[in-house]
Chains A and B, each alone.
Chain A
Amino acid sequence: MKKILVIEDNQDNADLIEAFLEDNYELSFAMDGKNGLKSAIENTPDLILLDISLPEMDGLEVVKEIRKNTKISKTLVVALTAHAMLGDRNMFLKEGFDAYLSKPIYDEDDLIQLIESLLKR
């Protein structure tokens, strides 16, 4: 089973993502940027779902650190953000994310489809 790390500070959102993905992936969670980065280095997940607005260290800083660290620099990272605006997508890709998902995430199938298409790359 592929390993996914979810870095999200809102417990309800984390619960929802867990409910969506628990049957298909091995999940681990972190609630802030610092612990998220630590967990990524320790557990080397296949993919990381990374919230943008996080306490301690925000998503943009976390992805920068991931890309710098040779152990996990190739890990797939998906940005999760509520403030979706036109033009944001390119900004996130430029910052080092592999994909971008605007919250709210309502649909289990959409999320799994995106993850699967990234894992196949």
Chain B
Amino acid sequence: MTKKQLKQKIKLLENSHLELKESNKQKSDFIVNISHELKTPLNSIIGFSSLLLKNKDENINDKQLKFLQSINSNGKKLSEQLTDLIELSKIEVGKLTLHRSKIDVILMINNTIQLLQSQVNEKACNITFINELDTEELFYTTDEHKIQQLFIYIITHILQSSIISKGKISISLTQDKQNFIISLCDKGIEINKKELKEKIKKQQKDFAILISKNITKQLKLNLDIKSVKNTNGLHTLYLPKKDDNG
């Protein structure tokens, strides 16, 4: 291939790269718009069913209330999924900007646990945090809001995929030479390895996991999900030490 031909090829590649980038942006914008459109009718479904659930005139029987509850909670679920979809599309086109600051990781984990306590209680789960470092404070430079969101996504995901309640979620904080390591794991479910593998395969398509992976990529962290017997998988988050310039 001559130098001229090579130059032409490079030009061609550059152009198709730009086209791809543009069409990816268009796709994301489309998803955001359509999700907003879908949310408007959901507003009525959720709002009116909430209103009926109050049973102000006391003329709705228990069975009907149960059906209404189902309409209401599924509507809310759908709405949350649309929010996730919008969020994901925004992350994909890099619309979300990072606000880095020095944060205390240990405090952040404790705050997040507190924030999720009602959800955890609802599932009759138990959540524990074990700090294996020799310190009560761990300062790290990152986006506080995003990293907390990441934790919420992972824990909510574990809670949602738990088949039976009364499970146990344990969070631990350790370190090796290169990283601070936060592991999240749940216990309390009896499933075999094959089932688990399928489950993890399915999880790869899960919104929460997709978003979590996108956020970790943006924050320049690493998230690893391994299959572990009798659990929903071991989620490990690595915070590289060298990246912490704070």
Q: For chain A, residues 52 to 98, give those with C-beta under 8 angstroms from any C-beta of chain B.
A: 82-83
Answer yes or no: A27 CB below 8 A from chain B CBs. no
On whether the beta carbons of A104 and B51 are closer than 8 Å, the reply is no
> Chain B residues near A10 (CB, 8 Å)?
40
Of A12-20, A32-40, A41-49, A112-120, the one touching chain B: A12-20
On whether the beta carbons of A16 and B43 are closer than 8 Å, the reply is yes
A116 nearest CB across to chain B (Å): 18
Which partner residue on chain B sits nearest A19 by CB separation? B51
Using known A-B contacts A16-B44, A104-B79, A106-B46, determine if residue A82 contacts B51 with beta carbons closer than 8 Å. no
> Chain B residues near A83 (CB, 8 Å)?
36
Please pick, from A13, A20, A82, A108, the residue contacting B44 in the complex, using a CB distance under 8 A.
A13
> Chain A residues near B50 (CB, 8 Å)?
106-108
Answer yes or no: B48 CB below 8 A from chain A CBs. yes
> Chain B residues near A16 (CB, 8 Å)?
43-44, 47-48, 51
Which partner residue on chain A sits nearest B43 by CB separation? A104
On whether the beta carbons of B47 and A82 are closer than 8 Å, the reply is no
Answer yes or no: A99 CB below 8 A from chain B CBs. no
On whether the beta carbons of A82 and B48 are closer than 8 Å, the reply is no
Answer yes or no: A101 CB below 8 A from chain B CBs. no
**Overall SS of chain B's interface:** helix
On whether the beta carbons of B36 and A12 are closer than 8 Å, the reply is no
> Chain A residues near B47 (CB, 8 Å)?
16, 19-20, 104-106
Which partner residue on chain A sits nearest B42 by CB separation? A104
Q: For chain B, residues 19 to 61, give those with C-beta under 8 angstroms from any C-beta of chain A.
A: 36, 39-44, 46-48, 50-51, 54
Which partner residue on chain B sits nearest A23 by CB separation? B56
> Chain B residues near A106 (CB, 8 Å)?
43, 46-47, 50, 76
Q: Kindly state the separation between the CA atoms of A13 and B54 in the bound complex, as whole angstroms.
A: 19
Q: Kindly state the separation between the CA atoms of A104 and B48 in the bound complex, as whole angstroms.
A: 12
Which partner residue on chain A sits nearest B75 by CB separation? A106
Q: Kindly state the separation between the CA atoms of A104 and B39 in the bound complex, as whole angstroms.
A: 8
Q: A103-B39, A104-B42 are in contact. List 12 more A-B contacts (CB 8 A).
A: A12-B43, A15-B44, A16-B43, A19-B47, A82-B40, A83-B36, A104-B40, A104-B79, A105-B43, A107-B50, A108-B50, A108-B51
- Top 7 nearest A-B pairs by Cβ distance? A104-B43, A16-B47, A12-B44, A106-B46, A106-B47, A19-B51, A106-B50
17 A-B pairs whose Cβ atoms sit less than 8 Å apart in the complex: A12-B43, A13-B40, A13-B44, A16-B44, A16-B47, A19-B47, A20-B47, A20-B51, A82-B40, A104-B40, A104-B46, A106-B43, A106-B46, A106-B47, A106-B50, A107-B50, A108-B50
